[in-house]
């Protein structure tokens, strides 16, 4: 939230370098957040890397859980959409 505030209201009040760093941190943070949100949502739609023991899901391969079949398409879609909005 602090970096977002510096990015939105800091131009002319902080140095250009500080403003650039805040902007890059906001962009990186939102992309990282979107990565994990999409990984979870993709797993709910196309689960992979798990087994069911006593009626409960247990991860057997975290790589497959995070990078399940629909995740690359959803992440690509999100990244392209965010570039188009700029």
Tell me the pLDDT tens digit for each residue of 44-60. Answer: 999 999 999 999 999 99
Placement of tokens 């398409």 in the chain: 73
Tell me how far apart the alpha carbons of residues 47 and 59 are, in angstroms, rounded to a whole number. 10
Q: Burial-class residue 71 by CB neighbours within 10 Å (0-12, 13-18, 19+).
A: buried
The confidence score (pLDDT) of residue 13 equals: 93
| pTM exceeding the 0.75 threshold for the entire prediction | yes
Point out which residues pair with 57 in neighbouring strands.
52
The confidence score (pLDDT) of residue 82 equals: 87
Task: Compute mean pLDDT per 10 residues along the chain, 86 residues long, and list them.
Answer: 92 93 94 95 95 95 96 94 87
């Amino acid at each position: 939230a602090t970096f977002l505030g510096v990015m939105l209201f800091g131009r002319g009040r902080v140095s250009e370098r500080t403003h650039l760093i805040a902007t890059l941190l906001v962009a990186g943070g939102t992309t990282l957040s979107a990565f994990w949100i999409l990984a979870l949502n993709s797993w709910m739609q196309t689960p992979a890397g798990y087994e069911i023991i006593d009626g409960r899901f247990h991860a057997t391969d975290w790589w497959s859980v995070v990078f399940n079949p629909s995740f690359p398409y959803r992440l690509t879609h999100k990244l392209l959409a965010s570039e188009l909005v700029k």
